């Protein structure tokens, strides 16, 4: 309750399960419910296989990421259901120092989808590379679908990332890159010239329904535009039978096959 009611004395809420400094780790058939903070974290680990995980949390629980990957290389996440009841934050979040990440056959129910980042907070040098998300279903009022988020003023990169064979059902922001990410209400984030570079990001065979008419949003940095952003066979409709739209700012796009909506 102290995370919601700021007048209560509160210490940092714990993560339910953390795997730290592990090599050649296998985590299988694990169920985690209603963690006070993140549910499952893989940190500073190498060669990880996580499969058949089920994570659940209430809709309004704050910052209760399902699976959080940080400073971890060579990790496979397979056959998982995240947010069966609802997670209050990212279903899977992948942050700095993570490389060679595969997430396959994943079902995301209400939450914030899969996020790369945030990266670059507080002027930090962050990097994520070689991420593959393959065969995923996102459903039921999920706030974001496939998201990359970086802060102004940071440095580093998010590159070589592919999302493919993904079904969307009533997603508010199906595809989004935001290099102006800011979760502060006061004071507002100031303008910076520096930015985390975003490049070689692919979206292939992405289908489904957007809850809003703006189904694709690429809000990239004017000083460090998004490069090599490619879309292949992307078909997103609006659940309100309106025309879907794409917003694209400071982005180098490559379209292949049928892409709707397109800039």
> What is the set of active-site residues?
89, 112
SS3 of 121, please? helix
Q: Which of 77, 85, 126 is nearest to 106 (CA)?
A: 77
Return the structure tokens found at 252: 């180098």
* CB atoms closer than 10 angstroms to residue 20: 12
248-to-19, 33, 155, 163, 222 alpha-carbon distances in Å: 38, 38, 22, 18, 12
> Which of 132-168 are b and which e, b meaning 16 or more Cβ less than 10 Å from the residue's Cβ?
bbbbbbbbeebebbbbbbbbbbbbbbbbbbebbbbbb
Distance CA 167, CA 174 (A): 10
Q: Are 120 and 95 in contact (CB under 8 A)?
A: no
């Amino acid at each position: 309750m102290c995370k919601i009611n700021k007048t209560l004395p509160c210490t940092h809420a714990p993560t339910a399960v953390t795997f730290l400094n592990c090599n050649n780790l296998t985590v299988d058939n694990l169920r985690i419910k209603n963690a006070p903070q993140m549910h499952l974290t893989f940190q500073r680990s190498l060669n990880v296989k996580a499969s058949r995980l089920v994570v659940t949390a209430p809709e309004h629980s704050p910052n209760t990421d399902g699976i959080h990957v940080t400073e971890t290389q060579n990790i496979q996440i397979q056959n998982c259901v995240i947010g069966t009841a609802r997670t209050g934050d990212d279903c899977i979040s992948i942050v700095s120092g993570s490389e060679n990440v595969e997430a396959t056959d994943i079902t995301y129910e209400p939450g914030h989808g899969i996020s790369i980042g945030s990266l670059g907070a507080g002027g930090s040098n962050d990097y994520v590379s070689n991420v593959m998300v393959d065969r995923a279903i996102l459903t039921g009022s999920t706030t974001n679908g496939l998201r990359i988020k970086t802060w102004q003023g940071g440095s580093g990169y998010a590159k070589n990332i592919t999302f493919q064979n993904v079904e969307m059902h009533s997603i508010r922001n199906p595809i989004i890159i935001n290099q102006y990410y800011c979760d502060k209400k006061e004071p507002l984030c100031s303008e910076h010239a520096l930015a985390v570079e975003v490049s070689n990001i692919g979206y292939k065979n992405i289908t489904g329904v957007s809850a809003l008419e703006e189904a694709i949003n690429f809000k990239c940095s004017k000083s460090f535009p998004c490069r090599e952003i490619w879309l292949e066979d992307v078909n997103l409709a609006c659940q309100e039978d309106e025309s879907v739209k794409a917003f694209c700012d400071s982005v180098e796009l490559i379209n292949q096959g049928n892409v709707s909506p397109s800039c």
